[in-house]
Chain A
Amino acid sequence: MWTIKDKVAIVGMGCCKFGENWDKGADDMIIDATYEAYEDAGMERKDIQAAWVGTTVSGAGGITIAAPLKLDRIPITHVQNFCATGMETIRSASFAIACGAYDIVLCVGYEKLKDSGLAGLPAGYIHPVLGVNVTAPGRWAMGAVRYFQAYGLSPKEGKETLAKISVKSHYNGARHPKAHLRREVTLEQVLNAPIIAWPLGLFDCCGNTDGAAAAILTRADMAKSFRDDPVLIKGMGLAIGPSLGKEDGAYDYIHLPETEVAAQQAYEQAGIKNPRKELDILELHDCFSISELMTLEAIGICPKGKAKEDIDAGTFTLKGELPVNADGGLKSFGHPIGASGVRECYEVYKQIQGKAELPERQLKKEVRLGLSHNQGGHPGSLLPIVTILGRKD
């Protein structure tokens, strides 16, 4: 089996301050993120041979980054894969390097949601029959209700389980200087918050955020010439289904079959047999608290229906056995759609290098192998990308 393992290295990354950046346009954030990545990699603009840019609603075409970054006559590709757009830039660029087309490429994901006339997820094309009255929180809420029922969680237990996820995310995000929503919340606050789509309340839903993040990728065999601690791509999986969940009577809305396959692809490439034991850190796409819970089961960290036990035990907290969303995740760090997938790699990349933003945020344990998960869609119609990042062996 062909694998991308150890063929591509990340040698520089950057991430701007996420938030409601009223004082910044997309260009400013793209520059902030990219110049941090240049500095991190010890490179400059002229070293970049090709670039990928990801944004869903804040622009179209390669010029969106060529103009602010003054990239001069190089190939630039704009990719869009729903909320998985950010990681799609890294995925596409990785294959371009792996096949030998380029040695050094730049990936930029960004989104400017404030001051752009949007109040929530952009609708895009909505099917006139199948898509009526559908919202992202509504679809995930359906999954949550079904999950509670299928695994015997009372509404109270289910709500409390989800609330613990959000409390953990805010705790982590409050400690990251670049996060959007930097305030801790209590279990009570999360439970009492206004409902968006029951059981998902305000604090079960991610932030609506401006941000940009960037990565510089090289051939693995030349990575050492840029830095001593490059991070290698160990595996990548993307599995898009036919979006038949709502028509398929057999689909149960409590499992994420696409994510299961995407994770399996990534594990096989990386040679991971026991993800729970081998992985040291997870960045999961927690657009809603229930998404984090269901993903934990889909990627084989918890047996199906058992995530509650680990959540209750604190397995996924900063000091727990397997920290999840150490930077606060979408919930607290924020969700600038096109940037999120790159940001999900940013935290794992930094933790593997032992260079977490602020030394006190560095996990106490050794971080060798991490998983970043980025996804678009909802149960029944999902678009998940799973990337395994690791040290050079």
Chain B
Amino acid sequence: MGTRLKDKVAAITGAGRGIGRAEALALAAEGAKVVVNNRTSAKGGTPSDVPAADEVVEEIKKAGGIAVPNYDDVSDPDGAKNIIQTAVDNFGRLDILVNNAGILMDAQVYKMTDEQWEKIIKVDLYGVFYTCRAAAAIMREQRWGRIINTSSQAGAWGRFGQGNYAAAKEGIVGLTRVMARELGPRGITCNVIRPRAGTRVSLSPETQAAWEREGRFDYIAQSKMLKSEDVAQFIAYLCTEETANINGYTFVVGTDGIGLYREPEPPFKMIYSSQGWTLDLLLEVMPTTLADGLVNPAPPKTT
């Protein structure tokens, strides 16, 4: 057992399996008292007799750590509030919030249903807002906190069929960037990770079957090589006292490498006009200026 997070209290959403579970174990292993939030059973899907959160709590206790389970739904404002309240009720405070809960419902935009859109935005984006709102109120009073929100590479890459998921996950990046400015003066840091790990979400049976069909065995092998435990170690690092200067940043985190994303910058190329723009003018100047060298990432198919 390490002591680097001794006496800190952490809440982790979606901590029943995959990356969230690894994060809960990693923080507990450094001495943090952990609220393990997970809505569903160990088998996934609907709740059943053995909630996944209980299994993780059991595992933490066996290793000599301190943890309590919570079964609330992050997409419900009261549920999210209750996750934070569980920390306060059991351990008297909250120092760390790791938002990891998330789900997928893939569909191309033109045939995406209202339900597919709303459900994902509700869980993946609203859920993060609800927990952050509740946690920030407490952390502000304590004048210390660590909030880590989980985005994805889906939006950064424009991953096919994941418009809803990408919108939510990029929303998290914007939300966190603002929170960093709002909460920084109170000693709270807010950062985003885009994890790379082979989990139930990223390497679903459907994904694996599709990659096999496409002959991308390398993707499968790489995905399996990417371990949730390695992502969790980086989360533990962000929770230490040593990371006070890391606030509002986005990292890509995988077993084989960790990267810092560039923050949005002013446009790197601009054209100027003293009399506004006309269509004729744009058609004339754009091809040799801003549009010069641009490549369509998905050009029209001829076959």
Contact = CB atoms under 8 A, between A and B. Distances in A.
A198 B221 contact: no
Contact of B213 (A154, A191, A192, A195): A154
A201 interface: yes
Interface string B213-225: 1111110111000
A156 B221 contact: no
A195 B218 CA distance: 7
Interface in B193-238: 212-218, 220-222
B218 A201 contact: yes
Interface in A111-163: 154-156, 158-159
Nearest to A194: B218
Interface of A: 154-156, 158-159, 191-195, 198-199, 201
A306 to B, nearest CB: 20
A159 B213 contact: no
A155 B214 CA distance: 5
A18 B216 CA distance: 32
27 contacts: A154-B213, A154-B215, A155-B213, A155-B214, A155-B215, A155-B216, A156-B213, A156-B214, A156-B215, A158-B215, A159-B215, A159-B217, A191-B218, A191-B221, A192-B217, A192-B218, A192-B220, A192-B221, A193-B218, A193-B221, A194-B218, A194-B222, A195-B216, A198-B215, A198-B216, A199-B215, A201-B218
A194 B213 CA distance: 17
A25 B293 CA distance: 45
Nearest to A191: B217
Contacts of A201: 218
Closest 5 CB pairs of A and B: A155-B215, A192-B221, A159-B215, A191-B217, A195-B218
Nearest to B303: A149
Nearest to A192: B221
Interface residues of B, number: 10
Nearest to B219: A195
Contacts of B218: 191-195, 201
Contacts of A156: 212-215
Nearest to A153: B215
B196 to A, nearest CB: 15
A152 B153 CA distance: 33
A340 B191 CA distance: 54
Given A155-B216, A195-B216, A198-B216, 5 more contacts: A154-B213, A156-B214, A191-B217, A194-B218, A199-B215
A192 B208 CA distance: 13
A21 B218 CA distance: 30
A235 B298 CA distance: 50
Contacts of A191: 217-218, 221
A305 to B, nearest CB: 18
A199 B220 CA distance: 14
A153 to B, nearest CB: 9
Contacts of B214: 155-156
A195 B220 CA distance: 12
A158 B215 CA distance: 8
Interface in B271-285: none
Contacts of B217: 159, 191-192
Residue of A155, A194, A201 with highest tally of chain B CB at under 10 A = A155
A154 B221 CA distance: 19
Nearest to B224: A192
A157 to B, nearest CB: 8
Contacts of A193: 218, 221
Contacts of A199: 215
A151 to B, nearest CB: 15
A191 B215 CA distance: 8
A244 to B, nearest CB: 22
A288 to B, nearest CB: 15
Nearest to A160: B215
Contacts of A194: 218, 222
A201 B215 CA distance: 11
A302 to B, nearest CB: 21
A148 B220 CA distance: 21
A180 to B, nearest CB: 23
A163 to B, nearest CB: 9
A75 to B, nearest CB: 51
Contacts of B212: 156
Nearest to B214: A155
Nearest to A163: B217
A204 to B, nearest CB: 11
Nearest to B212: A156
Nearest to B222: A194
A156 B220 CA distance: 13
B267 to A, nearest CB: 26
A156 B215 CA distance: 4
Interface string B243-274: 00000000000000000000000000000000
Contacts of A159: 215, 217
Contacts of A192: 217-218, 220-221
Contacts of A154: 213, 215
Residue of B215, B216, B218 with highest tally of chain A CB at under 10 A = B215
B182 to A, nearest CB: 42
A106 to B, nearest CB: 45
Nearest to A155: B215
A198 B214 CA distance: 10
A154 B215 CA distance: 8
